[in-house]
Chain A
Amino acid sequence: MSIIEVDKLTKYYGKSRGIVDVSFREEEGEIFGFIGPNGAGKSTTIRLLLSLIHPTSGSARVYGKNVTTHGPEIRRDIGYLPSEVFYYEGMKVIDLLKYSASFFDGDCTQRMRELSEYMELEMNRRISDLSYGNKKKVGIVQGLLHSPKLLFLDEPTAGLDPLMQRKFFDLIRKENARGVTVFFSSHILGEVQRLCNRVGIIREGKIVEISDIRTLQKNNYKKVRVMAKGLKPADVKLAGVTNVQTDNGTLSFFFKGDINAVVKKIGGMKLEDVTIEEPTLEEIFMHYYE
């Protein structure tokens, strides 16, 4: 079942572009990565799905319900962690969390304690006294305390130290294992690569690619490096070879096409070493933005 269905969603802020004709689907239990640089429209998409803003045209459905007409109902099962968190400065952490919990049915106290303990959050401090990273932890706990079935994470790791980032990712994986669907927006490709099944790449408000993260890597070029005496670029002249560089007996190039062709070609050489690597998402990503 599709949890999120976005159909030709368009948002203009006056004359300036938010997103244009964005369409995608996210299935139940997926972790969908939404990547793009700042200002590409990632947050706009999330804010539309949360009905914080209203679409100029197109439609979006969450749990099969239209976000503009069924917002409150949908939000009962949604958790949201924005990139920058802002809370009522005068409140204590515990009071804010209780206020947050009071919007949902059922008792969230137990889960609130567990999450705070796990994220090492001190509950008795005032929000205004918290550092940015600690406010972020408040955000994580308040986004998860009502056990939502769908999580919107908008560049969630900003401000968290590496240790906390890892704990946070573990937490998200655990949630996902329980069946929680995750929509994960980020411009840090490493974390998307680590966490997501599928990715959508957005650029200047438009989706440029949606694909399985493995397919994305497989269908892309390979990075090949061979070490042998007296290698010249002409030795690897093949269709699909690009970006050939020689450095002191090492020849490296990108290759896209049937891998057997390359293997056959270098199979005849007397090699000292060879590596064939998949490109990082970073490199694929740059390719879409060139």
Chain B
Amino acid sequence: MSATIYRHEFLARINSVLVWSVSAAAFLILVFSIYPGFADEAAMINEIWAKFPPELLAAFGMNKLNMTTVLGFYGFMLIFIQLFLAIQAGNYGFGLVSIEENELTADFLLTKPVSRSQVLLSKLLAALTSMFLTTLVVWAGTLVCMALYAGGREYDSSTLLLMMLSLPIFQIFFLGVGLVVSLLVKRVRSVTPYSLGLAFGSYVLAAFSGMLGDVKLELITPFKHFDPAYIVEHGALNTPLVLLNLAVTLVALAACYILYIRRDIPAVS
């Protein structure tokens, strides 16, 4: 790995990390501030929910989550945090090598005395660092929420921890898949449509999977692999699905390595 590339890559993303981190944590804390109201009016809230079509509730996982409990509400919020982090990770994944190729700076970098694997590894580590900085801030935001708004209500802290710790694995999935797709398509002209597509696509699949009931969509969408409703309900991760998720990530990263080593860097066209 090349410290020079790592440093350059990390600094190039520092503003983006700042914006994503602050907005994710701010969103979490702001929305969580309505939780005490929810909890105080539990009976009324549940009555209102009962009037909603069950399909709609299922789409947001609200049929399984009791939003008047601390973990239920946090689980509901976590879906949006996941979506947020998925877009960020997708951005970094799709852009990891494609931005450099689009802006034609890849020639500059790859004519330096570094190997392709060094370049890829340094870039990946820099992107991981950037992503996990955001995760750290989200974790801090979570603790702030608990301190400010849980208001002495009971919750199982190990389940909360499990939800928090599931985030990094979830993020690496989108980084890896984004990267491998960017290496498979001929040219990624703009990163955002791809990352939004991947993140929202998987999210919508997860939502449909909830609505339609017994459809095996949970197999292909990471939002189901780390379904907060499941974690809250069982106090544990859905181990087979998490293993499946890890396997896909590992295969994607291995494929990235092979593809990038053999890649022909496109010239000006």
Footprint of B on A, CB under 8 Å? 13, 43, 47, 50-54, 71-76, 78, 80, 82-84, 86-90, 99-100, 102-104, 142
Contacts and interface: CB of A to CB of B under 8 A. Distances in A.
A130 to B, nearest CB: 14
A47 to B, nearest CB: 6
Main secondary structure of the interface of B (DSSP, over half): loop
Interface residues on B, range: 20 to 34
B112 A86 contact: no
A99 B4 contact: yes
Contacts of A80: 107, 111
Nearest to B262: A54
B12 interface: yes
Interface string B101-134: 0011111101111110010000000000000000
A74 B113 CA distance: 7
Given A52-B107, A84-B104, 7 more contacts: A50-B111, A52-B110, A54-B264, A72-B115, A73-B113, A75-B114, A103-B113
A232 to B, nearest CB: 54
A100 B110 CA distance: 11
Given A87-B108, A103-B113, A103-B114, A43 B4 contact: no
16 contacts: A43-B267, A50-B110, A51-B110, A52-B107, A52-B111, A54-B264, A75-B111, A75-B113, A82-B107, A83-B268, A86-B108, A88-B103, A89-B103, A102-B4, A103-B4, A104-B112
Contacts of B113: 72-76, 103-104
B8 interface: yes
A27 B189 CA distance: 41
Main secondary structure of the interface of A (DSSP, over half): loop
Contact of A86 (B103, B110, B264): B103
A142 B111 CA distance: 11
A87 B106 CA distance: 9
B103 A78 contact: no
Nearest to B108: A87
Nearest to B115: A72
Contacts, number: 62
A235 B228 CA distance: 100
B265 A52 contact: yes
B112 A100 contact: yes
Given A52-B265, A53-B265, A102-B4, A88 B111 contact: no
A3 to B, nearest CB: 17
Contacts of B262: 54
Contact of A72 (B107, B114, B265): B114
A53 to B, nearest CB: 4
Nearest to B114: A72
Nearest to B3: A102
A137 B111 CA distance: 18
Contacts of B112: 75, 100, 103-104
Nearest to A80: B111
Contact of B268 (A73, A76, A84): A84
Contacts of B110: 50-52
Contacts of A54: 262, 264
Nearest to A103: B112
Contact of A100 (B103, B108, B268): B108
Contacts of A84: 104, 268
A214 B139 CA distance: 73
A47 B4 contact: no
Nearest to A86: B104
7 nearest A-B pairs in the assembled complex, by CB-CB distance:
A86-B104, A103-B112, A53-B264, A76-B113, A75-B113, A52-B265, A102-B4
Contacts of B111: 50, 52, 75, 78, 80
Contacts of B118: 72
A47 B8 contact: no
A99 B114 contact: no
B96 to A, nearest CB: 15
A43 B267 CA distance: 9
A82 B2 CA distance: 24
A71 B267 CA distance: 18
A2 B264 CA distance: 26
B262 to A, nearest CB: 6
Contacts of A51: 110
B115 A71 contact: yes
Interface string B245-269: 0000000000000000010110110
